[in-house]
Structure 1
Amino acid sequence: MAEEESQNGEIIERPIDGSKKHPLERPWTFWFDNPSAKSKSAAWGSSLRSIYTFSTIEDFWCLYNGLFLPSKLPPGTDFHCFKEGVEPKWEDVQCAHGGKWTVNNTRGGKDELDKIWLNTLLAMIGEQFDEGDEICGVVASVRARSEKIALWTRTAANEAAQMSVAKQWKEFIDYNDKIGYIFHDDAKKDKSVKNRYTL
């Protein structure tokens, strides 16, 4: 029930209309990847699967509450949430000239990983970033010895935009350690690539 105050000050209870959903500014898609399950000869990205696209707050919470949290995923898997129409691949036209900020979950265990994931999702789908057009999506990567969450952006060469995104992201997830930004172009050429920006 929702409460309203009438003109004479009385509280009136009205039933909530469950058929009315609250649209997001744009749809988003959850993706799952289990690269360790594919054969060594399979092309990269061949195990990547879209799970569901949502466009309302209610649909997001239904999905979020029904899907595995990053802390429950088996090692070797990646969980993604990207703008609809953007695949979580370097080759995607929206990602091709971009890069990623990465947070290493070293301080709070599994609960901290899930908290960073949720707060990042809420900031993205709630359009909280000043440079929201720069955001492509977020990836949670679970490995045997490390857990990372990476925020992918569109225009790596725009340092001002990337620093703005990083500053806000750290505030949204309450993260005080240093984070680094890697250009996708650099990562394609060298696995031991260095950060271009840090904050």
Structure 2
Amino acid sequence: ESLHLGITLSLTMGETVKNPLQHDWVLWEHIAGARNPNEWKQNMKMLGAFNTVEDFWCYFNHIPKPSEIFFDGDRKKVVGPDSRTIEEYSIFKKGIDPKWEDPKNSTGGEFYCRRHMEPDQLNIYWQNIVLGVVGETLDGDTNHINGVRVVDKGKTYPMFRIELWIDTKDMAVRERLRNRLIDCIQDGAPISKKGHPQFEWKDH
């Protein structure tokens, strides 16, 4: 079974019918440079909201890939006419902010994988987990997933962190999601010399 989010278009009376997603989602970026919590919040920028397959791809295909903007071992890259440096992308359900303090996030925690990744691996890992989350193939009918983040942790060496945030600390739910997460993120990804990505757990 593919864990990818498929797109099918239907035509009715000459009009394209969009395919609805189960939830509404918001795509965020976080600009580097915050030194305190207030600045951190100010540096969060909503890139767009979507609730259909087509609108998701419209946003996702028109933002730079993580490898195109994150630290590559030489420099952090700047984006746009304002020359901003992006250190994080996140996609969360509408109404949930990508921060620990949000009530929906504070009851649970996150799975995270922090490691060096080759550019192609970073991009496909990020795409796979996003598709699994937005397409509801990771969560199924349980509705525990709040969102997903990819964060640039590189300073002198390229280091990245991929996170899956959920609303519960329940061990059975965590184990089920961890297993599905590992299967999802590896789907079609190039084989790494470091082996399969491993996810640790952190309470919020």
| TM-score between the two structures when normalised by the length of structure 2 | 0.74
Superposed counterparts of 1:9-158, under 5 Å: 17-34=14-31, 36-38=32-34, 42-75=38-71, 77-106=87-116, 108-129=117-138, 130=140, 132-144=142-154, 145=157, 146-156=159-169, 158=170
Greater than 3 Å deviation, 4+ residue runs: 14-18, 38-44
Match among 150, 161, 166 for residue 178 of structure 2: 166
The 3-state SS of whatever aligns with 2:17 is coil
Partner of 2:77: none
Q: Which shifted more, 87-96 or 168-177?
A: 168-177
What is the CA–CA distance in structure 2 between the aligned matches of 1:89 and 1:109, rounded to whole Å? 27
Shift of 1:137: 0.5
Partner of 2:200: 180
Q: Which shifted more, 174-183 or 55-64?
A: 174-183
CA contact (8 A) 1:22 1:57 kept: yes
Change (3 A) 1:43 1:15: closer
Q: Which has the higher contact order (CA 8 A, sep 6+)?
A: 2
CA contact (8 A) 2:150 2:160 kept: yes
**Cα deviations by residue, 1:50-76 (Å, 9 ceiling, x for unpaired):** 110001111111111101111122446
CA contact (8 A) 1:131 1:164 kept: no
Shift of 1:140: 0.4
Q: Using the aligned pairs only, state the percent identity.
A: 26
